[in-house]
Structure formats: C-alpha cells, structure tokens
Amino acid sequence: MPDSLSPTETGPCPDATEPCLILSRLCQAGLRPTRQRLDLGALLFRAGNRHVTAEQLHAEAQAADIKVSLATVYNTLNQFRDAGLLREVVVEAGSTWFDTNIDDHHHFFHENSRLLQDICCTQLALPDLPCLPVGTKIARVDVIIRLRDAE
C-alpha cells in the first residue's frame, strides 16, 4: 500500500466507516494521510474521547502489530496537536497526555493510578480570575485537580 492515500484511493465510504473517518479528519486538518498517521489515528479515535501518553499509544500500536517507533508516535501526536486534532495536557514536568476531546474542559488527575479524567466546564466556576495585563485576552483556562486515594 502506498505511504500516502487520497480519499478516492480508499474506495467508497457509504457508512462512514472508521478508516474513512480518520482519512477525512486528516485531510480536513491539512495533514497528508500517511500510513502511520492513518494507523495511529485509528487507534486514537476508535473509542470516543480518551487521554493517552505517547508510550501508551506506542504499546497499543505494538499490540496491534503496527510497526512504528516511539519517536514516530511522539512526532505524530505533536502533528495532530498542532493541526487541532488533539489537546496536549501537561500534568507535571515529563508527564504529558494527549486528549482527543478538544472542546473546552478541565481535568481530574488521579495521582495513584495516573489517570486523567474529564470535568465538564459547567461543573467548575471560576468567578474571580485576576485582572489581565493591558492588550491581552484569555485564550483558554486549563484546570487540573489532582486527586489521591482516600486513606
């Protein structure tokens, strides 16, 4: 199979099957649909909204017999982020997750299990934001609430 596919080379997509959806997302984002992007995109977006690290996605790719290096996974995730397909969530230095839910929302981070969980924006009110410097506006507010197991 060629490294890059056009929408017409994949055949008809009458029921919007998964490969067609991934191909469409990549094309709409302006990304060339390489085999690696299609394969990793299928893993990422197959089960609705989720949070994943590069290492987790690499392990999933290996389990699915997708031949891809960890460096390629990192590069692809960063390309997807730059194209607006993913949000990057930095929990702490060296701990980065990629979120398939690109809508505004916040997160719980479970320190014991190292899991990230969505919080709907309407569930968290931030009424007392500081005054902004002159000539600026808020681009986005990211809140991460860190949780530990109760003892």
pLDDT by residue (tens digit) across 73-91?
999 999 999 999 999 999 8
pLDDT-based confidence at residue 104 (cuts at 50, 70, 90): confident
Give mean pLDDT, residues 113-118: 91
Over residues 33-64, the pLDDT tens digits come to: 999 999 999 999 987 889 999 999 999 999 99
Closest CA to 119 of 138, 141, 137: 141
Instruction: Tell me the pLDDT of the chain averaged across its residues.
Output: 85
Domain extent at residue 83: 7-97
pLDDT-based confidence at residue 18 (cuts at 50, 70, 90): low
Together in a domain, 87 and 124: no
* CATH label of the domain that carries residue 40: 1.10.10.10
Together in a domain, 113 and 42: no
Q: Which of 97, 114, 130 is the last residue of a domain?
A: 97
Task: Check: CB of residue 42 under 8 Å from CB of residue 19.
Answer: yes
Residue 12 resides in a domain? yes
Residue 1 resides in a domain? no
Together in a domain, 19 and 69: yes
Over residues 130-140, the pLDDT tens digits come to: 999 999 999 88
- Please give the pLDDT value at position 142: 86
- Please give the pLDDT value at position 20: 79
- For residue 85, give both structure tokens: 């397909």
